[in-house]
């Protein structure tokens, strides 16, 4: 386990390989202490739980939940939580299909050990912090035990989710072990058991679980409370008043629909501090009732009401009415139906409690004691006026074309509105110069054509020479360079339509006769060579068959005459058979060396498959005879129906292998069985004979069509693409083919291969191959083959002044296109697909290892070091390479064996398939080996059985992308083409293919993004870029930091900070100023979060920067202003799209689908009074309304995920907020990693005086290295 701060995806595209284990108590803690959950609102709690689990299921995760028996003791002092925990377990068991295990005592039990051995989980989702110190210790012992079992840990409190994936912190923990205790409640159990039996007699037909729990808990609690009653309040009659109101609230739960309960008024009162002891008794009683009911199989109890057992806010609302409003003379009718049901329930309580002194159903209050006390803090959800955001009218054709059908549904301001007239007028922006250097934009040819610098030219020569050398290591030194001169080769014609051969000329006759003479000489020479070797080889086979066969195969590899090879194969076959007969007379059947028969069958396979046209009847008879001797009668019969019996002994059973031919070949000869391969060459492909699917691809290229290739790793997808390049080079000097690689490492490999394969005489200034990555580029716009990465191609396609170059593109080759479903940057792949509308510190340890034939390969190495390792490995100077998944994406590293040495969070089925596919490359190895070392068998099975990945669309839009599209449309040289590109990006998102209803939501997102850009001064009302739009668009991959940076510039904060001082007679910035500047920029760019538990490292290691310092106050204030504007804009967006929700599903729990809708109850004056619906709650989940969440809370980014409708695919990840304080589900602050500041102050990524185990646990050097590199690239 490396790096607890590393946020990893819990499951990627290969979900079949990722079996998750969820600790039930951690799930319970995470949801029960959610900052947006109001304690006592049971139904909202179950909604949060089900939404979490439903999200996992929607992402196709496989998981089970485990509740340990011993964990129940941790809730001894928290009966409310204990009752809720017990209800959760039974709800999951009765009302959902989720697998729940409650049979294990703890993580140290033998049964648990056996369970882990059989079902090894990919992740354990567990909380590192409990509600008590005892529970924290219990959970951390669980964590340590899991880590000992090599199970990856994910902190439940830090789990985040977006539309496509779920992410969590990987962590290690080390805490002390303490002993726990158990308490026994015999009296409670006895009373509950007796009362439950009595109730079953009263209601033999069964009842709702809420009525059962309410009646028994009230009766038993009142009965026990009477016995233990002391002078402390409340009295027995006061407790009875509480129970009466509790019973009424339960009736409300059963008869009022959720949409009516969501209108409940918000009161600022809490229970009086004298009541909790009685309330805790009530909750303890509920726990034992639920446990007893689980064992009752002969009583019809409806458990669908389990998630809605109690509603604390409703109970307090009823208490407030009878305590304050009723006493002031407000007398409201309850309604006949509700009154009858309430009276029935309370009379049942009286019967069960066997105490008639408690009073009847009415009056509700028989005592005057106040049960409620007013709180000083104003609750969230109080009635506040929601700001109605009017939209500034915009004029642009693309808006009408894309979102014209929804414009009537959004409010626009009039042209004379102050918000419109006050818009600042800024200078119009055009992308003519680089934003950071102010140099004119131009292509590489224009910048270099007049370059007379000899050193520069020499560097270019070295670069091209290096690419040629590197390419030779990829394709082999004996491979010829293709000099492209004319047109592409035509596809081969069908033999049935080939034209008849013309009359041969004298020259052709002479050439043919000369070839025949040469072949005769060659055959004579090979015959003589075989005659000299045959006796020795035959003798060696009889003495040592393995050694002899190896020598025979060496001869066959060097022999080029088919008839001589056939003779040699027959001699080898005879020798093997004679040796087997002699061997069987000496050895027992059980101990025979089966490799002799394997060699025999190999010879038969080769003779029959390769030399069938040379086989005579005598040869077939001999082969059939040998097969009959070893017991393969069916094969002998198929080879020669009539076998010559004259030379066959009577008893040949002693020579048999005692196994069927099919089973023998499948068991022992898997690597040697012939693959179905084509033997007819294709003139379009050199050096190898393409398969049928590869020929179909070549046909597609010849027909100028598009194709999607789905084929296993190392099957030849990349090499097949080189034909496409060759075709473009042959056609003209203008066409361009773009090769899109997922990684820079693969870019270098492709460039090396292209430089070694192709050369062409081009007009001055043009070259064959160019490169464009974020790190470097050369010959980008003046090449015919451009090798690039997705982000850089997107820059070119969205550039308004490079459209002429874009029109030259004939083909785009997307390598490893499954990256479309990846975690980071996957949306760029989708943008490219839709825009192509006619598409398709110093260390020398490596040097020492290389001399020993050992190398390593990972993403944090310099690309030249990686290339050296790849090149030396292909040249067989390096025999062993230790690598990460950096070799997974198409790097050409042919090897005999792949070894997975340990389990890892990154070893999913996708990476397994990619890396294991490197073993046994086609045409180089007969068989490839894959070894698993230290990986549990259940995980190995899931890796092997997993299915192919599913490509899932990302959320396609962002504010920066909208701005870049507007820049393209407004400033493009070809307006029509630019508009078509922009509309293609907007209209054809992969996400909307499977979810058509999301298209309307994306249109609203587009409109409100434009509004933000206009109000912030990046666009004018005609949607033409102005102001700092160039800077923002160039830093688009750092959103929202790009917008915040502009806010800092507009407020002149950097001018105020960066004031030079006189140092040694020169004006310089002080060290304090520079450090503050680094702190500011590190808070914007390269942000890596740490879990809350790691804040302690700041005190433990004061000489190194582990936790990044907070922004200075003046900068933080600007960020808050920016966030407020974003929340205001996108809060209105969320209010607008709420009408797109499926309200039928919004009243159902996500997982169990229990429906809480129904007809509004209008017969009760009291219900109408308690639930007036005065607060605005039209755009938030009705379940969240139970915790006093209103529409106003949509303007708070911390509440959005829990408040939004579940059927709308938007969350806080789609709102560009720069969080000053990111918090987990429990409200704890997650600090930022200070690796950039630490590197600035110390010059090293490592922490000074930090123990190794802490460094490994909390710091991930590879990520920090890449983070510093990206920070440098700003």
Q: What CATH number should be reported for the domain holding residue 153?
A: 3.40.50
Q: What pLDDT does residue 796 have?
A: 86
- Count of helices and strands (H, E) across the chain: 50, 27
Report helix angle 617-629 to 595-610, nearest 10: 160
User: Collapsing DSSP states into helix, strand and coil, what is residue 78?
Assistant: coil
SS (H, E, C) 244-258: HHHHHHHHHHHHCCH
Residue 138, token pair as written in the block: 């219990």
Query: Has residue 379 been placed in a domain?
Result: no
Q: What pLDDT does residue 178 have?
A: 28
Q: What pLDDT does residue 910 have?
A: 75
Per-residue pLDDT of 240-283, as tens digits, reads 999 999 999 999 999 999 989 988 998 888 888 888 888 888 88
Which residue range(s) make up the domain with 212? 192-374
Q: What pLDDT does residue 201 have?
A: 80
989: Cβ–Cβ under 8 A, 6 or more apart, which residues? 830, 834, 953, 956, 957, 998, 999, 1002
What is the torsional sign of CA 1191, 1193, 1197, 1200? negative
3-state helix, strand and coil shares in percent for the chain, rounded to the nearest 5: 50, 10, 40
Q: Of 672, 705, 730, which residue sits at a domain end?
A: 672
| Peptide bond just before 485 cis, omega within 30 deg | no
Per-residue pLDDT of 1169-1202, as tens digits, reads 998 888 888 888 999 888 888 888 888 888 888 8
Query: Has residue 264 been placed in a domain?
Result: yes
Per-residue pLDDT of 732-744, as tens digits, reads 888 999 998 887 7
Same-domain pairing of 335 and 359: yes
Query: Has residue 899 been placed in a domain?
Result: yes
How high does pLDDT run on average in the chain?
A: 79
Residue 1167, token pair as written in the block: 């219900």
Mean pLDDT, range 442-462, rounded to an integer: 54
For the whole model, what pTM was predicted? Answer: 0.67
Per-residue pLDDT of 291-335, as tens digits, reads 888 777 778 888 898 899 999 999 999 999 999 998 888 889 898
Same-domain pairing of 552 and 698: no
Per the model's pLDDT, the better-predicted residue between 205 and 42 turns out to be: 42
Query: How far is C-alpha 171 from the chain's CA centre?
Result: 18
Mean pLDDT, range 999-1010, rounded to an integer: 89
Lowest-confidence segment of 31-35, 847-851, 926-930 by average pLDDT: 847-851
User: Collapsing DSSP states into helix, strand and coil, what is residue 38?
Assistant: coil
Q: Are 5 and 1260 in contact (CB under 8 A)?
A: yes
336: Cβ–Cβ under 8 A, 6 or more apart, which residues? 1163
Q: Are 898 and 928 in contact (CB under 8 A)?
A: yes
Q: Of 374, 403, 431, which residue sits at a domain end?
A: 374
Distance CA 858, CA 745 (A): 10
Per-residue pLDDT of 843-880, as tens digits, reads 455 666 777 788 888 776 776 777 788 888 877 788 88
Same-domain pairing of 600 and 692: no
Q: Which DSSP category does 322 fall into?
A: I
Looking at the predicted structure, is the pLDDT value of residue 1114 above 90?
yes
Q: What pLDDT does residue 179 have?
A: 31
**270, β-bridge pairs:** 373
Per the model's pLDDT, the better-predicted residue between 1153 and 419 turns out to be: 1153
Distance CA 408, CA 394 (A): 13
Same-domain pairing of 656 and 729: no
Lowest-confidence segment of 154-168, 477-491, 971-985 by average pLDDT: 477-491
Mean pLDDT, range 1145-1156, rounded to an integer: 90
Q: What pLDDT does residue 457 have?
A: 66
Q: Predicted confidence band at 708 (pLDDT cuts at 50, 70, 90)?
A: confident
**φ, ψ (nearest 5 deg) of residue 944:** -75, -30
Distance CA 1194, CA 1128 (A): 9
Looking at the predicted structure, is the pLDDT value of residue 35 above 60?
yes
Distance CA 717, CA 922 (A): 12
Q: Which DSSP category does 872 fall into?
A: H
Mean pLDDT, range 975-997, rounded to an integer: 82
Lowest-confidence segment of 499-513, 787-801, 955-969 by average pLDDT: 499-513
Same-domain pairing of 820 and 849: no
Q: What pLDDT does residue 341 have?
A: 92
Percent of the chain with pLDDT over 90: 11
Q: What pLDDT does residue 1260 have?
A: 45
Mean pLDDT, range 483-507, rounded to an integer: 52
Same-domain pairing of 281 and 319: yes
Looking at the predicted structure, is the pLDDT value of residue 842 above 50?
no
Same-domain pairing of 1081 and 1228: yes
Q: What pLDDT does residue 88 have?
A: 93
Query: Has residue 381 been placed in a domain?
Result: no
Per-residue pLDDT of 157-177, as tens digits, reads 777 777 777 777 765 433 222
Q: What pLDDT does residue 762 have?
A: 87
Per-residue pLDDT of 968-978, as tens digits, reads 888 888 888 88
Q: Predicted confidence band at 1127 (pLDDT cuts at 50, 70, 90)?
A: confident
Same-domain pairing of 110 and 246: no
Polymer length of the chain? 1274
Per-residue pLDDT of 787-813, as tens digits, reads 998 888 888 888 887 888 888 888 888
Query: Has residue 509 been placed in a domain?
Result: no
What is the torsional sign of CA 1238, 1244, 1248, 1254? positive
The DSSP-derived string for 219-247 is: HHHHHHHHHS--SSSS-HHHHHHHHHHHH
CATH number at residue 780: 3.40.50.300
Query: Has residue 1079 been placed in a domain?
Result: yes
Distance CA 1091, CA 1233 (A): 10
Looking at the predicted structure, is the pLDDT value of residue 4 above 50?
no
Looking at the predicted structure, is the pLDDT value of residue 488 above 60?
no
Per-residue pLDDT of 403-439, as tens digits, reads 888 888 877 777 777 777 767 666 666 655 554 545 5
Q: Is 223 exposed, middle or buried (0-12, 13-18, 19+ CB in 10 A)?
A: middle
Per the model's pLDDT, the better-predicted residue between 186 and 1176 turns out to be: 1176
Q: What pLDDT does residue 751 have?
A: 87
Same-domain pairing of 795 and 867: no
Looking at the predicted structure, is the pLDDT value of residue 487 above 70?
no
Q: Are 10 and 160 in contact (CB under 8 A)?
A: no
Tally the domains of the chain. Answer: 6
**φ, ψ (nearest 5 deg) of residue 795:** -60, -45
Mean pLDDT, range 1134-1149, rounded to an integer: 88
Q: What pLDDT does residue 439 have?
A: 53
451: left (phi > 0), else alpha (psi -120 to 50), else beta?
beta
Query: Has residue 615 been placed in a domain?
Result: yes
Distance CA 941, CA 17 (A): 8
Distance CA 797, CA 800 (A): 8
Same-domain pairing of 719 and 635: no
Q: What pLDDT does residue 432 have?
A: 59
Query: Has residue 405 been placed in a domain?
Result: no
Q: What pLDDT does residue 174 have?
A: 33
Same-domain pairing of 725 and 790: yes
Q: Predicted confidence band at 621 (pLDDT cuts at 50, 70, 90)?
A: confident
Q: Of 672, 693, 726, which residue sits at a domain end?
A: 672
Q: Is 953 exposed, middle or buried (0-12, 13-18, 19+ CB in 10 A)?
A: buried
Q: What pLDDT does residue 818 have?
A: 64
Same-domain pairing of 204 and 325: yes
């Amino acid at each position: 386990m490396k790096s607890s701060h590393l946020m990893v995806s819990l499951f990627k595209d290969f979900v079949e390989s990722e079996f998750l284990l969820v600790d039930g108590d951690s799930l319970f803690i995470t949801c029960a202490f959610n900052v947006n959950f109001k304690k006592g609102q049971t139904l909202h709690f179950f909604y949060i739980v089900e939404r979490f689990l439903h999200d996992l299921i929607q992402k196709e995760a496989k998981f089970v939940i485990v509740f340990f028996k011993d964990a129940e003791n941790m809730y001894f002092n928290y009966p409310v939580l204990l009752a809720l925990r017990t209800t959760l377990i039974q709800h999951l068991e009765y009302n959902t299909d989720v697998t729940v295990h409650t049979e294990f005592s703890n993580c140290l039990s033998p049964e648990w050990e056996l369970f882990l051995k059989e079902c090894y989980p990919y992740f354990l989702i567990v909380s590192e912090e409990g509600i008590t110190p005892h529970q924290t210790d219990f959970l951390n012992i669980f964590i340590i035990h899991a880590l000992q079992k090599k199970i990856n840990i994910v902190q439940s409190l830090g789990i985040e989710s977006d539309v496509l994936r779920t992410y969590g912190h990987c962590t290690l923990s080390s805490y002390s072990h303490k002993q726990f205790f158990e308490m026994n409640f015999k009296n409670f159990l006895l009373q509950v058991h007796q009362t439950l039996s009595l109730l079953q007699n009263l209601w033999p037909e069964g009842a709702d679980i809420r009525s059962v729990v309410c009646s028994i808990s009230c009766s038993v609690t009142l009965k026990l409370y009477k016995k233990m009653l002391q002078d402390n309040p409340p009295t027995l009659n006061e407790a009875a008043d509480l129970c009466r109101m509790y019973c009424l609230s339960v009736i409300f739960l059963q008869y009022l629909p959720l949409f009516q309960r969501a209108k409940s008024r918000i009161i600022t009162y809490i229970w009086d501090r004298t009541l909790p002891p009685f309330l805790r008794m009530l909750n303890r009683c509920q726990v034992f009732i639920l446990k007893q009911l689980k064992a009752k199989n002969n009583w019809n109890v409806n458990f669908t009401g389990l998630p809605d057992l109690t509603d604390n806010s409703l109970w307090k609302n009823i208490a407030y009415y009878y305590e304050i409003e009723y006493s002031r003379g407000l007398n409201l009718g309850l309604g006949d139906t509700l009154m009858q049901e309430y009276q029935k329930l309370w009379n049942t309580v009286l019967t069960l409690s066997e105490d008639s002194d408690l009073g009847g159903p009415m009056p509700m209050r028989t005592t005057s004691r106040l049960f409620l006390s007013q709180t000083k803090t104003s609750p969230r959800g109080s009635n506040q006026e929601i700001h109605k955001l009017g939209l500034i009218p915009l004029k642009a054709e693309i808006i009408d074309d894309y979102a014209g059908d929804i414009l009537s549904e959004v409010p626009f301001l009039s042209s004379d509105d102050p918000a419109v007239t006050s818009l600042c007028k800024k200078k119009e922006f055009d992308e003519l110069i680089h934003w950071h250097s102010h140099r004119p934009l131009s292509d590489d040819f224009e910048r270099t054509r007049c370059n007379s610098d000899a050193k520069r030219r020499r560097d270019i020569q070295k670069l091209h020479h290096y690419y040629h050398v590197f390419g030779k290591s990829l394709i082999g030194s004996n491979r010829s360079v293709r000099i492209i001169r004319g047109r592409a080769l035509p596809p081969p014609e069908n033999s049935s339509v080939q034209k008849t051969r013309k009359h041969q000329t004298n020259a052709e006759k002479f050439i043919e006769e000369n070839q025949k003479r040469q072949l005769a000489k060659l055959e004579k020479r090979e015959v003589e060579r075989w005659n000299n070797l045959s006796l020795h080889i035959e003798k060696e086979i009889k003495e040592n068959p393995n050694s002899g066969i190896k020598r025979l195969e060496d001869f066959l590899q060097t022999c080029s005459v088919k008839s001589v090879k056939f003779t040699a194969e027959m001699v080898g076959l005879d020798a093997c058979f004679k040796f087997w007969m002699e061997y069987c007379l000496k050895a027992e059947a059980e101990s025979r060396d089966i490799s002799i028969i394997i060699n025999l069958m190999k010879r038969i396979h080769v003779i029959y498959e390769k030399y069938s046209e040379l086989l005579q009847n005598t040869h077939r008879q001999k082969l059939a005879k040998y097969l009959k001797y070893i017991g393969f009668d069916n094969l002998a019969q198929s080879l020669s129906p009539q076998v010559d019996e004259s030379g066959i002994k009577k008893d040949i059973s002693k020579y048999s292998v005692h196994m069927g031919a099919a089973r023998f070949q499948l068991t022992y000869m898997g690597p040697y069985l012939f693959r179905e391969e084509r033997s007819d060459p294709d003139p379009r492909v050199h050096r190898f004979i393409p398969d049928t699917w590869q020929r179909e691809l070549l046909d597609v290229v010849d027909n100028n069509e598009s194709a999607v290739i789905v084929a296993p790793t190392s099957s030849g997808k990349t090499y097949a693409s080189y034909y496409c390049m060759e075709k473009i080079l042959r056609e003209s000097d203008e066409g361009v083919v773009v090769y899109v690689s997922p990684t820079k490492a693969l870019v270098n490999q492709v460039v090396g291969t292209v430089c070694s394969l192709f050369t062409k005489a081009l007009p001055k200034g043009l070259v064959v191959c160019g490169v464009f990555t974020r790190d470097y580029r050369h010959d980008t716009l003046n090449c015919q083959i451009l090798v690039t990465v997705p982000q850089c191609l997107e820059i070119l396609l969205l550039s308004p002044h490079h459209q002429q170059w874009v029109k030259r593109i004939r083909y785009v080759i997307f390598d490893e296109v499954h990256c479309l479903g990846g975690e980071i940057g996957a949306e760029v792949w989708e943008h490219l697909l839709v825009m192509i509308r006619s598409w398709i510190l110093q260390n020398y340890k490596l040097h020492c290892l290389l001399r020993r034939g050992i190398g390593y390969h990972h993403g944090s190495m310099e690309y030249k070091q990686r290339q050296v390792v790849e090149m030396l490995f292909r040249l067989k100077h390096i025999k062993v390479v230790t690598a990460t998944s950096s070799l997974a994406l198409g790097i050409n590293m042919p090897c005999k064996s792949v070894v997975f040495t340990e389990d890892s969070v990154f070893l999913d089925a996708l990476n397994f398939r990619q890396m294991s596919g490197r073993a046994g490359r086609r045409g180089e190895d007969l068989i490839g080996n894959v070894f698993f070392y230290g990986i549990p068998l259940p995980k190995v099975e899931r890796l092997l059985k997993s299915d192919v990945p599913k490509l899932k669309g990302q959320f396609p839009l962002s504010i920066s992308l909208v701005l870049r599209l507007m820049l393209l449309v407004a400033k493009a040289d070809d307006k029509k083409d630019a508009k078509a590109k922009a509309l293609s990006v907007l209209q054809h998102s992969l996400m909307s293919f499977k979810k058509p209803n999301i298209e309307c939501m994306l249109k609203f997102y587009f409109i409100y993004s434009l509004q933000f850009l206009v109000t912030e001064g990046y666009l004018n009302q005609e949607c033409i870029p102005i102001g700092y739009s160039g800077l923002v668009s160039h830093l688009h991959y750092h959103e929202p930091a790009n917008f915040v940076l502009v806010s800092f510039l507009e407020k002149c904060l950097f001018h105020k900070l960066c004031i030079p001082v006189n140092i040694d007679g020169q004006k310089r910035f002080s060290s304090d100023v520079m450090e503050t500047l680094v702190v500011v920029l590190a808070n914007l760019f390269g942000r890596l979060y740490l879990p809350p538990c790691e804040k302690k490292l700041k005190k433990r290691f004061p000489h190194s920067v582990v936790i990044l310092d907070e922004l200075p106050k003046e900068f933080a204030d600007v960020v808050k202003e920016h966030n407020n504007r974003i929340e205001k804009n996108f809060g209105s967006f969320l209010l607008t799209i709420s009408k797109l929700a499926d309200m039928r599903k919004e009243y159902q729990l996500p997982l169990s689908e229990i429906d809480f809708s129904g007809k509004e109850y209008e017969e009760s004056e009291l219900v109408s009074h308690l639930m007036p619906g005065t607060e605005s709650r039209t755009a938030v989940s009705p379940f969240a309304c139970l915790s006093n969440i209103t529409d106003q809370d949509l303007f708070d980014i911390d509440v959005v995920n829990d408040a939004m409708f579940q059927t709308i695919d938007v969350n806080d990840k789609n709102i560009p907020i720069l969080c000053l304080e990111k918090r987990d589900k429990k409200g704890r602050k997650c600090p930022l990693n200070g690796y950039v500041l630490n590197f600035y102050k110390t010059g090293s990524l490592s922490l000074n005086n930090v123990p190794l185990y802490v460094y490994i646990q909390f710091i991930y050097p590879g990520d920090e290295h890449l983070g510093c590199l990206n920070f440098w690239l700003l």
